[in-house]
Amino acid sequence: MSVTTDETVTRSENQGPAPVKKLQRRGVFAGGQYIPYTLLLPAVIVLLGVLVYPIYRLFDLAFQNVNKFAYLKHPEKAKYIGLDGFDKILHDDTFWEVILRSIYFTAELVILSMVLSMLIALLLNRVSNWVRVTVFTVMMFVWAIPALVNGQVFRWLFASNGGVVDYVAYLITGDETWKNYDWFADPTVGLYVVGAAVVIWGALPFLVLGLYAALTQVPKELMEAAKLDGANGLQAFFHVTIPVIRPFLMISAALSFIWDFQVFAQIYALRNSSPESGYQTIGTYLYMEGIVPSRYSDASVISIIMIIMMLAALVFYIRQMLKIGANER
Amino acid sequence: MNRKIAAVAAIATVLVASACSSSSSSDSGSKSGEVLSKDGKGKKITVWLMDDAQKQWNDVVEAAKTQFKAETGADVEIQWQTWSNYTTKLDTAMLSDNAPDAIEIGNTQAAKYIDAESFVDLTSVKSKFDNSDKWLDSLAASGQSADHSKTYAVPYYAGARVMIYRKDLFEAAGVAQAPTTLAELKDALAKVKAANAGTANFSALYLPGKNWYTAVSFGAGSFGVDNVIAKKDGDNWSSTLSDAKFVEGISTWNDLQKQFSVGGTTADETDQDALMAKGNIAAIIGNGWEVGSVIDEKNGNPALKDKLATIALPGAAAGDPTPAFLGGSDLAVPSNAKNPGLGATFLQIFTNTAQQTALAKHAIPNAKNLVAAYKQADPANVAAGSAAEGKTWFIPNSPMWSGSNETALKNALSAIAAGGDPAAELKKAEADVIKGLNG
Amino acid sequence: MSDVLSPAPETQQPLPPVKKPKKSKETEVGRSGVMTWVWNTIALLVAVVMAFPIYWMVLTTFKTNKDLISQNPTFWPSTFSLDSYKTIFDDKDFLPSLQNTVLLTLGAVVLGVAVGFLAAVAVARFNFRGRNFFIVTMLVVQMVPLMAILIPLFVLMNEINMTGTIVGVILAYLVFTVPYVIWTLRSFIVNIPSELDEAAMVDGCTQWGAFFRIILPLTMPGLVTTAVYSWIQAWNEFIVVKTLMATNGKNTSMTWLTFYSSTPTRAADYGSQMAGGLLVSLPVIILFVFFQKKVSAGLTAGAVKG
């Protein structure tokens, strides 16, 4: 996992008995059974208020027919319809299209951003120092730009009237028609090329910097030993490097999944506040088809499905995190 | 499992029921007995207006504020809004306890909030509004309850789209007379296109793919203005998009686009004024006031000042223009406003004859007797005024009509603009476009 | 620079393994000077591609209207102009919305870190019933997309009369700050040997004295990490604030920006749009330049959502 843990392990070795298996309360607050609960109280109150209660209301809405503004305004007019809401959404072809699109898009984003960042990180291990500093500086600036602004900038870059990408394509090909090529005409191109470009562009800095740092943790001796044993570069990479940086790979893949699956701001800004149906993955779909047209119960059902999908996909990751957490204790 | 859900549902029902009984009582008991109030000393009311007003007729707004202050002693804070995603904003405001005291609302959006009883009922004071017996029919209708017995929103102004074109380019191409029929229009555009063959990315008529107001106008031109998009049989809406007549009109629009419009297949009309200012667009279809933004000092090109002219969009025959969408705005008082009485008084002042006459310089005022003033104010206004007085079309009048129905329509149209077959794309979109209308 | 990127968030590490530009150079040189230059060129190309959107954004802000409406984009402005920035500062909503953003970001960070820190101390220093359940919950709730609870969050805020207020938004932001802060700070505090605070108490410190002298200072790096990360999250968030603040017409920088770029009259004024985008990003960029190392450490340590 993170570098933090690696370090924890080394340090606890250095300092003799690791503070790992503390069963009793120790330290500052030894004594006073009520103290931990007092300390937790603010957090518990906050989370009950802004998280648990809203989630309860989310389920409550999902079992009603609040699909009309008037019903949210006058809740007494709404009815409980049991599972009909789920039935309706699960039998909606559009919904399944969106789910499929979300899966494809997320897969594309996670795979491309992981592979690209790995290549760049490996590349950075081979370049002169000043080049590395240059790349890192650029990465930091890219990282700092808010997602919303990313989308806005890419909309301008890919505009069909005066966009620079079209112009560069024209300069390269000399073909006048490129000057007005509309990248957004076909949602498949617009989403899987331009949309993916925005998201990946914004995601690379974190991944590259993290992977680079992880790669520096790979002991040189191991690599040399592998070389001595006759492994070629590729074999050494797969048998030495990958296992060492595996914890970081897992975390970053999981984080990328979390970010990419619910992507909203970039696409929203890229399509100037009104993403068309072909651009809608689950986050934007929820907003454009659930919240904008006041179909609150439908939106709640979709939200619940979204949460479940997210947790199901990440069960493995959560278990790993807890294992790491347990070691730390 | 089912029993569990039932139990949860039962508990929830009790909770919700108890929550509402308290809230609804405070809602319905109107805060002040008077619908119109002039007791505003030391108070400040909040009003939401579209920023079109700030750009075009800020003087009218200022005059209304001054008069309001003199009559009631209260100040007015105007918060400028934009149409983009305005409904989500309204949704939250109408539900909350701190709604503004008066709001502008698009005539396509009003039905939903009237249905939800979100506006103060102004029926009893309607007669105290200037010209309320001469309000433009369709605008007045958009502010009424479904059976037209009650008035919830006051007409503010109307808009009808016209063709804005470059007189200089048309004349240079040998088109001296403004086209009066679609056939003449096509001829004229072909000439303009040929004369400017040397200009890069030249659009003789720029028709962005998502400008559904324009596209549906063409559809309504051949289909007719009644029941366009969808029609209601009893309680059920059914789509009329795939009607052969409607498809024919959309095809006309699509042909014009293929021949004369470059770029913008998936764009909407929001940036067309600035694009026209670049100089390689000879005509656009837009609201009359857009002339002002084409020649705007900052974002436009002031050099085009005397080179622009407007005409009603030609139709199949001379004197029978393509029907325009009758757009416009209403004004209403949210029922959860803090000072509904003062809000209503502000609306009364803001829509009185004096202000509306001043507003008539820029937009079509809310009453029939004032339209003449609008036409006189500027020769460019004649086209829009006539378009509004002629045949116009409107969206299906249902409280369930929302931005997502419009989005579905826009998507179908931009798919057509991007090369799709009109009949096939419209057929495909039918279900989506009327989705939700039937509850 | 390589130091900045050192992944280790702590200071006590002996001889950070990252500082070895010399060593790597030796091996590179040993391999082949030519190859290094090939790699350098590729890496610089990557840098150019990555930097181009930012370059284009900054460039656009300095272009005059004439350059912007010219038929072909120019890669260097014919004249530099500050008009776009002037337009932004002339917009009377810009500064108030920036002020709102600062207020609610500060509120969300301070409240989130304070509440989270207390709970983190509890889970790191005590064994109590429900502790494991609490920790698991903190991890899982970080995966609930904010968008999913948008509607009930609004309904809730409305019921307690908090829509349209900055306080309401701050409370809503605790949804994502508190679990993250708890999860991240927990690992920082666990790593402080409890012998240290016991020793302090033996030396005559009170419980609170030990807390302030030992735990708080040693957790400082973690506090900074979580604070910076929460700051960035709160600053960039816009969908919740858009929904909750809408009722009183107040904007934050992010909602102002979407509002600004979707106004018809400004939709094609890319110069001002980009200037606006750049200006609202600036505080985050500055924060990043100073705290980049802490942010990356915090991200991996806490495994958070975006």
Domain ranges of chain A: 86-328
What is the CATH number for C191?
1.10.3720.10
Q: Are residues C112 and C71 in the same domain?
A: no
Q: Are residues C93 and C77 in the same domain?
A: no
Burial class (CB in 10 A: 0-12, 13-18, 19+), C131: middle
Q: Are residues C277 and C260 in the same domain?
A: yes
**CB half-sphere exposure, B413, CA atoms < 13 A:** 33
* Distance of alpha carbon C253 from alpha carbon A93, whole angstroms: 38
Q: Report the number of distinct structural domains present in chain B.
A: 2
pLDDT band at B26 (very low <50, low <70, confident <90, very high): very low
Boundaries of domain holding B115: 34-158+327-386
pLDDT at A188 over 70: yes
For chain C, the average pLDDT equals 79
Interface test with A, best of C15, C58, C149, C256 (most A CBs within 10 A): C149
Q: Cβ of C64 under 8 Å from any chain B Cβ?
A: no
Interface test with A, best of C40, C300, C304, C305 (most A CBs within 10 A): C300
- pLDDT value of position A107: 96
Q: Are residues B227 and B337 in the same domain?
A: no
Q: Are residues C214 and C259 in the same domain?
A: yes
Q: Which residues lie below 8 Å from residue B198, measured CB to CB, with a gap of 6+?
A: none
Q: Are residues B130 and B199 in the same domain?
A: no
Domain's final residue, options C81, C99, C122: C81
Q: Are residues C144 and C176 in the same domain?
A: yes
What is the CATH number for B354?
3.40.190.10
**Among candidate residues B253, B208, B249, B210, the one with its CA nearest the CA of residue B228:** B249
Q: Are residues B187 and B106 in the same domain?
A: no
As a whole number, mean pLDDT of residues B10-20 equals: 40
Per mean pLDDT, which range of A7-11, A71-75, A118-122 is the poorest? A7-11
Q: Are residues C210 and C102 in the same domain?
A: yes
Residues of chain B contacting A70 with CB distance shorter than 8 Å: 112, 115-117, 399
| Integer Rg of chain A from CA | 25
Q: Are residues B113 and B200 in the same domain?
A: no
Q: Are residues B268 and B354 in the same domain?
A: no
Q: Are residues C172 and C261 in the same domain?
A: yes
Which subunits have 3 or more CB–CB pairs within 8 Å of chain C?
A: A, B
* In-domain check, residue C212: yes
Q: Are residues B115 and B102 in the same domain?
A: yes
The number of beta carbons lying within 10 Å of the beta carbon of residue B226 is: 11
Residues of chain B contacting A182 with CB distance shorter than 8 Å: 263-266, 418
* Distance of alpha carbon A19 from alpha carbon B31, whole angstroms: 64
For chain A, the average pLDDT equals 83
* Distance of alpha carbon C123 from alpha carbon A39, whole angstroms: 9
A26, A152, A164 member nearest C194 (Cβ):
A26
Instruction: Using the structure block, give the residue that is written with the tokens 């997602």.
Output: A147
* In-domain check, residue B26: no
**Among candidate residues C55, C52, C51, C64, the one with its CA nearest the CA of residue C272:** C64
- pLDDT value of position A6: 37
pLDDT band at C161 (very low <50, low <70, confident <90, very high): confident
Q: Are C222 and B19 in contact (CB under 8 A)?
A: no
Please name the residues between 124 and 183 in chain A that touch chain C, using a CB distance below 8 Å: 124-129, 131-150, 152-154, 156-157, 162-164, 167, 179
Q: Are residues C28 and C97 in the same domain?
A: no
Boundaries of domain holding C71: 21-81
Query: Could you read off the pLDDT of C84-123 as tens digits, one per residue?
Result: 898 889 888 899 999 999 999 999 999 999 999 999 988 8
pLDDT at A62 over 50: yes
Residue of A nearest to C284 (CA): A144
Q: Are residues C61 and C197 in the same domain?
A: no
pLDDT at C225 over 60: yes
For chain B, the average pLDDT equals 85
- pLDDT value of position B15: 40
**Among candidate residues C5, C122, A290, the one with its CA nearest the CA of residue B88:** A290
Q: Are C295 and C233 in contact (CB under 8 A)?
A: no
Collapsing DSSP to helix, strand or coil, B360 comes out as coil
Q: Report the number of distinct structural domains present in chain C.
A: 2
* In-domain check, residue B45: yes
CB contact under 8 A, A128 and C28: yes
Query: Could you read off the pLDDT of C237-290 as tens digits, one per residue?
Result: 988 888 888 776 678 888 888 878 776 666 667 888 889 999 999 988 888 878
Please name the residues between 45 and 84 in chain B that touch chain C, using a CB distance below 8 Å: 46, 48, 51, 55, 79-82, 84
DSSP B415-428: HHHTT--HHHHHHH
Q: Tell me the nearest-neighbour CA distance from B306 into chain A, angstroms.
A: 25
Q: Are residues B337 and B358 in the same domain?
A: yes
Q: Are A294 and B112 in contact (CB under 8 A)?
A: yes
pLDDT band at B63 (very low <50, low <70, confident <90, very high): very high
At B183, the amino acid letter reads: A
Query: Could you read off the pLDDT of A254-313 as tens digits, one per residue?
Result: 889 988 999 999 999 998 887 888 899 999 999 988 888 888 899 999 999 999 998 888
CATH superfamily of the domain spanning A86-328: MetI-like (1.10.3720.10)
pLDDT at A127 over 60: yes
- pLDDT value of position C28: 43
Q: Are residues B305 and B363 in the same domain?
A: no
* In-domain check, residue B19: no
- Token pair belonging to C56: 């284009």
Domain's final residue, options C32, C52, C81: C81
Query: Could you read off the pLDDT of B251-296 as tens digits, one per residue?
Result: 999 999 999 998 778 788 877 888 888 888 999 999 887 888 888 7
Q: Are residues C58 and C167 in the same domain?
A: no
pLDDT at A8 over 50: no
* In-domain check, residue C255: yes
Collapsing DSSP to helix, strand or coil, B78 comes out as strand
Residue of C nearest to A30 (CA): C126
pLDDT band at A1 (very low <50, low <70, confident <90, very high): very low
- pLDDT value of position C30: 47
Q: Are residues C27 and C97 in the same domain?
A: no
* In-domain check, residue B7: no
**Among candidate residues B215, B288, B247, B195, the one with its CA nearest the CA of residue B187:** B195
pLDDT band at B363 (very low <50, low <70, confident <90, very high): confident
What are phi and psi for residue B367, nearest 5 degrees? -125, 150
Query: Could you read off the pLDDT of C23-53 as tens digits, one per residue?
Result: 444 444 445 688 889 999 999 999 999 999 9
- pLDDT value of position B4: 45
What are phi and psi for residue B434, nearest 5 degrees? -95, 5
* Distance of alpha carbon A106 from alpha carbon A112, whole angstroms: 10
Angle of CA points B16, B19, B23, to nearest 5°: 130
Residue of B nearest to C72 (CA): B200
pLDDT at B24 over 90: no
Q: Are residues B154 and B183 in the same domain?
A: no
* Distance of alpha carbon B283 from alpha carbon B178, whole angstroms: 12
Q: Are residues B211 and B308 in the same domain?
A: yes
Q: Are C191 and C215 in contact (CB under 8 A)?
A: no
Q: Are residues C280 and C298 in the same domain?
A: yes
Q: Are residues B181 and B141 in the same domain?
A: no
- pLDDT value of position C11: 35
pLDDT band at B124 (very low <50, low <70, confident <90, very high): very high
Q: Are residues B374 and B423 in the same domain?
A: no
pLDDT at C199 over 90: no
Query: Could you read off the pLDDT of B183-237 as tens digits, one per residue?
Result: 999 999 999 999 998 887 889 999 999 899 999 999 999 998 888 899 888 878 8
